[in-house]
């Protein structure tokens, strides 16, 4: 029996080695899509003078990561991360934040960078609202600004 067992193991070892040496078909390897990092800057935002806004982009350089075409996209401005996608050359990414305000309400901001992936084609927008179920909150503010691709 011992001789038979070693022959079986020998055949199994040869089969295992041959399978490692066979070429891998292109269909079984995941394609690698190149990433296209781009720098973003928002030099200023237009907002009413009396408004505090919890925006995270003005005068901070951001890095946009996307797949050189349609697909997931994200941009980081410091520790803040916008997420979304590029579809048909249109970028749409978003960041939501929550913050307390002096009116004793808790607020949520929605910050978006949207538009075409062309110079002058991207816009930053900011909206905010108190979280549901609160009373006596201040008026909401909005803001916007041009986004430069560097």
Residue-range definition of the domain harbouring residue 86: 38-149
Read off the pLDDT band of 112 (50, 70, 90).
very high
Does any domain span residue 5?
A: no
Read off the pLDDT band of 119 (50, 70, 90).
confident
Domain tally, the chain = 1
| Per-residue pLDDT tens over the stretch 68-79 | 889 999 999 999
**pLDDT > 90: percent of the chain:** 66
103 vs 9, more confident: 103
Does any domain span residue 45?
A: yes
Instruction: Find, among 108, 58, 50, the residue nearest to 78 by Cα.
Output: 58
What pLDDT does 49 receive? 86
16 vs 90, more confident: 90
Does any domain span residue 51?
A: yes
Does any domain span residue 49?
A: yes
What pLDDT does 35 receive? 77
Does any domain span residue 27?
A: no
Does any domain span residue 106?
A: yes
> What is the average per-residue pLDDT within 15-32?
43
What pLDDT does 118 receive? 86
């Amino acid at each position: 029996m011992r001789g038979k067992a070693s022959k079986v193991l020998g055949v199994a070892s040869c089969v295992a080695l041959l399978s490692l040496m066979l070429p891998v078909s292109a269909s079984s390897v995941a394609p690698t899509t190149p990433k296209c990092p781009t720098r973003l800057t928002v030099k200023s935002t237009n907002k009413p003078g009396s408004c505090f806004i919890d925006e995270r982009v003005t005068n901070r350089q951001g890095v946009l990561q996307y797949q050189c075409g349609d697909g997931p996209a994200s941009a980081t401005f410091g520790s803040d991360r916008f997420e979304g996608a590029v579809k048909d050359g249109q970028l749409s990414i978003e960041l939501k934040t929550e913050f307390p305000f002096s009116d004793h309400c808790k607020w949520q901001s929605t910050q978006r960078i949207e538009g075409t992936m062309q110079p002058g084609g991207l816009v930053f927008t900011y909206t905010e609202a108190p979280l549901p179920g609160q009373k006596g909150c201040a008026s909401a503010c909005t803001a916007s600004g041009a986004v430069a691709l560097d």
